Amino acid sequence: MSDLRNCILADEMGLGKTIQSITFLYEIFKMGIQGPFLVIAPLSTIPNWEREFRTWTELNAVVYHGSQASRKTIQAYEMYHRDTQ
């Protein structure tokens, strides 16, 4: 899918941008695009994003935040799916 483009969703609060974004990512994941996908959001909304990922998908949501050492650990162990075979 070389014609994918980045975008920003912006409108009134409460119109479902979070759910639309999460279900879109889940749909392209199910089509075979494994990610990782990066969602940038204010820290105050991160718990909501995590909860909605758990509610609407089977994707593993990882908060990429913290010290340099903790981000390095996340990169090493949580960013990519490792096939056991």
Task: Please state, in angstroms and rounded to a whole number, the distance separating the CA atoms of residues 65 and 46.
Answer: 10
The C-alpha angle with vertex 34 and arms to 8 and 85, in degrees rounded to 5, equals 165
* Whole-structure pTM value: 0.71
Buried b (16+ CB within 10 A) or exposed e, 51-81: ebbeeebebebeeeeeeeeeeeeeeeeeeee
Task: Please name the residue that has the structure tokens 């509610």.
Answer: 55
pLDDT digits (tens, 9 = 90+) for 24-41: 999 999 999 888 888 888
pLDDT digits (tens, 9 = 90+) for 70-85: 989 988 888 776 666 6
Q: What is the DSSP letter of 14?
A: T
